[in-house]
Amino acid sequence: MKLSELLKLVEGEVLVGSDDQNVYDIEIEKVAASDLMSDVLALSEPGSLLVTGLATPQCVRTAGVVGIPVVLIVRNRDIMPETKMAAEMSGIVVCGTKKGMYEVCGLLYNAGLKPVYK
């Protein structure tokens, strides 16, 4: 699923990375959802989407280590300036939605996206 389709589904928007129109063409096939970055490090796969309630630079740094191109922050959280800077420096796209994690995960699962497994 293209990021543009995913964002329509979850009523989300790109918060960091929207300057590059190619971000909307990023293909997402798998999803990891966690607020524990240690779980993301242990269980995620490169190219997957990270759904989290954390809006700190740590979620962006963790995504970069794993090879996750897009972070979706749930619950309408404001991102810190440091988070924006970390995302811009690492090329990670940061998106946001007003929806909660449970609802977002259900929508993405029902749309055919797969969970990450190790």
Residues in the chain: 118
| Burial letters 20-35, b for 16+ CB under 10 A, else e | eeebbebebebbbbbe
Q: Domain 3-111 adopts which CATH fold?
A: 3.40.1390
Tens digit of each residue's pLDDT (9 = 90 or more) over 18-39: 777 789 999 999 999 999 999 9
Tokens linked to 17: 């990375």
Over residues 107-116, the mean pLDDT reads 96
Using the predicted structure, report yes or no on whether residue 10 has a pLDDT greater than 70. Answer: yes
**Is pTM beyond 0.85 here?**
yes
Helix (H, G, I), strand (E, B) or coil at 62: helix
Round the CA-based radius of gyration of the chain to a whole number and report it.
12
Give the model confidence (pLDDT) of 61-110 as tens digits: 999 999 999 999 999 999 999 999 999 999 999 999 999 999 999 999 99
Residues 51 and 81: beta-carbon distance below 8 Å: no
Task: Please report the pLDDT score of residue 118 as a whole number.
Answer: 58
Residue ranges covered by each domain of the chain: 3-111
Residues 80, 32: Cα–Cα separation, whole Å? 22
Alpha-carbon separation of residue 100 from 25, 57, 79, 89 (angstroms): 24, 20, 16, 27
